[in-house]
Every structure is written in C-alpha cells, then in structure tokens.
Chains A and B, each alone.
Chain A
C-alpha cells in the first residue's frame, strides 16, 4: 500500500512538472487530467472516499472537458 502510494505520488509530481513545462497546450490539458486521476487514487488511499469521488468526477471529468472546449475555442479564434 505504502509503495503503491509513493509510486503514485512520484508519478503525480512528474506529471505536474510536465504540465508546467510543456509548450503544447493540449498535452498540458491531458496530463492535467492524469494529475487529477492520481490525486483521486491517493485520496482513496488516505481513507477519504468522498473526496476521491468528487476529485474523479470534477477534476478528471468535468474540468478536462471544459478545458478542451475552451482550447478548441481559442484555436478557432487564432
């Protein structure tokens, strides 16, 4: 359990650094969804299923969709 959590948190930190450093906007959005997904798994490890459900639904689902919609809108106006 501890090993899985530490591996997940390392993945999360690396993905978060990737989000900040990448010049590609679409790539950043997709990796940000990955960060949210790993965060929700970590919340589940910390015995907080309520927060994990909310994070998975809103962080990984809703906000990614809204980001991609606005990305397409920006791309169109350019």
Chain B
C-alpha cells in the first residue's frame, strides 16, 4: 500500500513538472503582443525604458482608465511593486501570514505579568505613539508618491503597538488584531476579483486617477497599500501577544 502511494506521488510529481515545463516553453516561444523571452527587442520596447523616460512634471501626464501601467504611480518602485509584480506582493503577504501562523502554533502559551515600566517610557510613549502612527498612515496613503509602501508602514504601525504594549498604554486586544487581519486579507482578494469582473485581468487598476503626483492619482494603489499595511501591522502585532499574554506571573512565588 505504501509503495503504491509513493509510486502515485512520483507519477504525479513528474506530470506536474512536465506541465510546468510545457507552460514555460509555451511562454518562451509565444509570438503575442508585448515582450517575448526569445525576442531580440529594441531598447525602446523594454519596460525599463518607459520608466527611465517617465516625466512626472509634465502637466499632461495623467493616468486614465486602461492606460499604461507605468503611469499609475509617480514613485517608480511602487509602480513596479503594485502593478507589474502585484502577484508577487500579494503572495508575499500570504507568506508572512503562514509564517506567523506557524509561529503562533509552535509558541507555547504562557501567561505572565508585564512589569510596569519606568516613568520616562510611561509618560513619553503616548506622544511617540501618535507620531509613529502618523508616520505609518502617511507612508501608506502616500505610497504611490513618496518612498514607502504597505510593508514598511505595517512594520512602523506594529512598532507603535509594541511601544504601547511595553509601556502598558491601552492597546487593542489580540482578537481585534485577528479580526482586522482577516478582514483586510479578504478585502485584498475581493478587490482583485472585482478588477477581474470589471476588466478581465486580476488586480487591474480600475479606478480613474488624476494628474500624476496628486494624491488621488494612483487608482487602487492607495487602497491596496492600506489593506496590506493593516494586514502586516496586525500580523506583526499579534506576535507580541504570543510572547506575552497578560495574566498572573507564574514565576512569582
């Protein structure tokens, strides 16, 4: 029985590899529009050329519905991360989710007392938390204009949660973070499906934007980035709760 099972697994693996190899071959030799792998293209047809020559200061540079993906964001890194490699970014979110899920499964749940911190941290941390949350929000709202984006914004927000956690300021409970995380994770994929229904391609940038450089020029990029930021922040914050759950200290005799 065991042998048959392993034989079946091997046959399945070989078939899977053959399918993947055939798809790669098919993509390599295809003669469709766009850039093909085996083409000897001119420099002008490359994606990088359009990025290098992108003029953000021009008054006429607007992003229209159905326009080119390079024009959706003023920040070049964002238009790569949130347009060309959006699948990559989405799957990165899933990778982070799975790693933190595994972490919280492995970690033993122990309740312990969080010691009251010194008065300096206690009095200064609310002021610092306000600035950190402001920086985080700025970073994902302006992710298509200035450096930053979903992941750093989420990390900064979770650092603010950590500071509040250490200084015993009131922070949301772990359950709240889990709800936020689940909700934003569902909304990210819902947005992709809505784009599929509207245009026929997953995560198509379906909102109309204004002049490039304005805050409303990115289409769905600010929405996507805010969802990613909330998801990353709530995931990373729930790590702290896995380490320290407030309760009675088991070490006190």
Contact = CB atoms under 8 A, between A and B. Distances in A.
Interface of A: 49-50, 52-54, 57-58, 61-62, 65-66, 69-70, 73, 76
Interface string B220-243: 000000000000000010011001
A49 B77 CA distance: 10
A66 B139 CA distance: 23
A17 B83 CA distance: 40
20 contacts: A49-B147, A50-B77, A50-B147, A50-B149, A53-B148, A54-B151, A54-B152, A54-B155, A57-B155, A58-B152, A58-B155, A61-B156, A61-B159, A62-B155, A62-B159, A65-B159, A65-B240, A66-B239, A66-B243, A69-B240
B251 interface: yes
Given A62-B236, A76-B251, A57 B147 contact: no
Contacts of B77: 50
A45 to B, nearest CB: 14
Nearest to A70: B243
Contacts of B212: none
A62 B158 contact: yes
Contacts of B158: 62
Contacts, number: 40
Contacts of A58: 152, 155
A49 B158 CA distance: 20
Interface residues of B, number: 18
Contacts of B148: 50, 53
Contacts of A62: 155, 158-159, 162, 236
A67 to B, nearest CB: 11
Q: Is the interface of A mostly helix, strand, loop or mixed?
A: helix
B177 interface: no
A57 B244 contact: no
Nearest to A56: B152
B243 A73 contact: yes
Interface string B142-183: 000001110110011011001000000000000000000000
Q: Which 4 A-B pairs have the closest CB atoms?
A: A57-B155, A49-B147, A69-B243, A53-B152
Nearest to B143: A50
Contacts of A54: 151-152, 155
Contact of B156 (A50, A57, A69, A76): A57
A73 B77 CA distance: 39
Contact of B159 (A50, A57, A73): A57
B244 A69 contact: yes
B129 to A, nearest CB: 13
Nearest to B250: A76
B150 to A, nearest CB: 11
